[in-house]
Structure 1
Amino acid sequence: MKPGVSMIGCAGMYLDRALFKRRQPSRVGNQLVQHIQKPLRICGSDPNAALSDVMYPTIAEILEIPSVARGLPRVRSGRAALDTRIRWVHVNEQQNPAGSLSGGELILSIGVPASDPTTNLVEYISMLKSAGAAGLMIEIGQHVQALPQALVQHARAISFPLIELRQSVRFIDVTEAVHGIILNQHYARLKFTERVAQVFRGLAVSGATVEQVVTEAAALLTLPVVLEDLGHRALCIAGGNPEEVLRDWMSRSRQTPGVTSGDGPRGWEVAPIGRRHNRWGRLIVAARKTGDERVAMVLAHASDTLTLLRLANSRNATPTQDAQEKILADLFRSPQIPGESLLTRARALGLNPSAAYGVLMLATCPQDAEHLMSSISAATHRLGLAAVVGRVTNDHLAVIMPNVATDGNDQQSLERIVAALPPEFVRAVGCAQSANLNGVPDALVEAAYISDVVNAGLCLSTRRVWRYGDIGIRGLLWNLRSDSRLLSFADEQLAPVLRKESGDDRKMLLKSLRAYIDSNGVIATFAKHLDLSRQTAYARAGKLSRVLGKDLTDPVCRLDLHVALIALDLIERDVRGVVS
């Protein structure tokens, strides 16, 4: 008998029993633990279910442990099963070990049963496998000089891992090393579980955004995570190169049907989002299933958090609408030629890259933006127009519509959309045209520019929708509104009026001058605008001419004054903006 074998066996059996009891708590203890640690079950998935099978070391990994490697291990059979995971190692010298095993053990032996002539070696190997043993490791030396051929042949016949140690090792070192690995992995996994729970609990309590939840999930897994809706439109991505991950996304995503991880030829990990009977999307790790149960756990927690945040969201906007708003804002802020990653995101969200787009930009008050977005969505739905709506700045709402032109028959559609909106919410509307998705950023900027010019009060008309060609010189003056030369010109032209000491005189003269310019110098029209008699109108026009020192019948003179008045309006608008 090898010295210390009985003590080693007792120690191994003791630790085996302790670990077994730890894995099999009492029924009362189980219920208490389940009650305390019971996870959220909104989506019908258990975030901790992935931890039911802790990542135990494989037989192949155990063979590389220094305390085992010193024994010069040699695999005699079952090489294909070396990836079997070991729940613990157990020293056992019984001919019939069935009663002392619970499954998943790697049996350590100094060869007592194998060297005993009364042992039926075929039955011995069969009983080990039937009892759930994962493999048998025998030390060659004091009790057995070589493994019996019958033992090796039957182990090979049933693909049972059989390893011989050609040098003496201390079994206590082996059990300590393996059990240390198991306990360390238990602890690491529990710490990871605690960290995941804390992260997503904090996100739920703080009312985090969808982007924050997806970003945290990707950071925990160091893998790309995509949020999509039920139409397979990618709403958000984190943790990867969008150009690569989202390439041909809708087509690839449809190859992973349903809500079960590993379905389809791509083997992606997925988690449904929303209540069981009200799903609205999926979280996807777009990588072939690797067997890492942490992925399923993180996705389940992230899914539950997104479901809670959606239920607690006071806005009526859906996650799809939020994603569309974000892509519009990013397109608006992008350079002239948007980056490929931005266009890839847009395509993955369902925007056709080759379609022509009609673009509307509506200027509004920040507090009215939510109501106006709802009204736009309702109007486009009634007209049967596909539209993407979103806020691109605090006081600008953008609408892009595929296959809608801003002239011809489609112009009437745009007019009907704007006509259906509450007029008190709309300050100005600019429109532009893009030949394809690449041109949408420029079209958004152009439409915003037009709406700003109109919103400045420079375009007095009953027109509802304005194009670039409609704003003319007003647009030029808007661009030059901060130019000192324009400011000096306006002050020079209007100085005799603006320097009047009496405020009433200034207001009367400016009102009269605006009416005269709008009337294009026609006295009959001028008189009608101010509700004056023709004789009084002539007298008023003469007074204007004397005060300004200009011949108002001269068209060039009227043009100078008209430009100066528009510049004055711009100056006063900027001053009001600063004061407010």
Structure 2
Amino acid sequence: MALTLAEFLLLPSVQQAKPEVAVAPDQLGRAVRWVHSSEIYEIGPLLSAGDLLLTTGLGLAGADAGARRHWVRELAAQRVAAVAMELGRSLPDLPGEILDEASRLGLPLYVLRQVVPFIRISEEANGAILHADAPRLRLADRVVHEVHAELAAGGGTPAVVSRAALATGGPAALVTRSGQVVAAAGLRDQRATERLLRRPAASSPVRIWDVDWGAVVLGAGPGVDLPGLRVLAARLASVAAVAVGQSGTGSPGDLAAPLLADLLADAVPGVRELLVRAGLARFHPSPDARVLGIAASAADPRQVLSAWAHVARTHDLELLADRVRGEAVGLIAVPGALAQSDPAGWLAATVPSDGAVTTVGPVVPVADAGRSLREAHDALPVAALLGRGTAVTRDLALVRLLGRLDDRALTLLVDDALAPLLAWDAAHGSDLAQTLAVHLRHGGSKTRTAEAMHVQRQSLYQRLTRIETLLGRPVDDPTSHEHLVLATCARSLLDARQAQQRPRRRRPGG
């Protein structure tokens, strides 16, 4: 890939030119990527980092001091490895302004006292660079060939890094854009993984369909030098793109719905495939993120998806969402800090609920994303039955369990606990059973119950007294609490089922 500046100065053709140091480099181990010779004044922007320039200064001979300083500044801005200036033909002496500007900017500068054709120096230096590259290229070719063979045999993405680690003797990993490790080899523990991701010896981006999916990262090992690692990383990135691309077809915009459908069907075999396919669909949760499944039933799922996208953009959250079987489903990733509080409750309160029934699953690690999505989706029918706008699945857990019972079993459970209240309500047109349900749902707080029912606290006290008299026990008695909660929940479910079965009244003229 390169030879060092020290090695360049020791080349026979360079030694014949009698090089002298005008501005010393910070280190002689500085890499020379390629050697160029040019006499044009505007050469600076045409060079790249690591290039070395040979010049006689012909393009500077008629320039003033300010122009010569500008010439040096452009070379330094390109981070060239060094400049070697032959004195005598165009410039008899090194101009002071060039020496001063190069010293100020730390640009290594050499003067050549003897005339040696630049073509000889360039051929010898660049030949040495190419010769040094040959073993590195052979190593990269061998590793890539082995990876292709494993991929053909169904090895998958782990083959990319396992072969690299075996060849270099150092660690290797394939990571998504957000730093999620999809495959790794040569790493002892999590700390070693974190060190590799923080300071890799070489890395190269993996791009698929012009999507910045992730990267191949390599650590130092005894089997190859740093330039060789860079060559290998670049070659492996292309192979990794093929391996990752085998996990999906089409374009990134087409991959969200199939992945979400497979998660709903519990058909994604492991976290590796999940991360690969999520990255292809442009979903990049950070390594410390937690995810929540979200599902919605609406007349127009596109409006729901648009609202979710707006929430994600506003709060800088990763979102993967699409329509699956006519419903809007998705995953939302929240940072680790937010996941410490109540992200499910926060999301339920943040997502618009107009015209849709929405359910939010539990917050889980990325590996369990499918479980949260399935819980959110499975809770949709119950949420729709109860007329909930947006609900967290934990708040529907009891209703979902009771939903497995038929109407007769639910009726028996209600009558066993609430018969006196239902009889009183039927005879007096009151709503004591509903008052009890709201009171239990608000944890027995009289203040919150009164606010929820929009009644005065004194009126609530009278209702609770009547309820306890009819039931023959305090409503906050721990021994009866669970029974009453089950019964009031069963009653709400029965009422919802009956309302659903009741024929809708036709509109006049309909």
Normalised TM-score (structure 2): 0.41
Greater CA radius of gyration, 1 or 2? Answer: 1
Which structure has greater strand proportion?
2
Q: What is the TM-score normalised by the length of structure 1?
A: 0.36
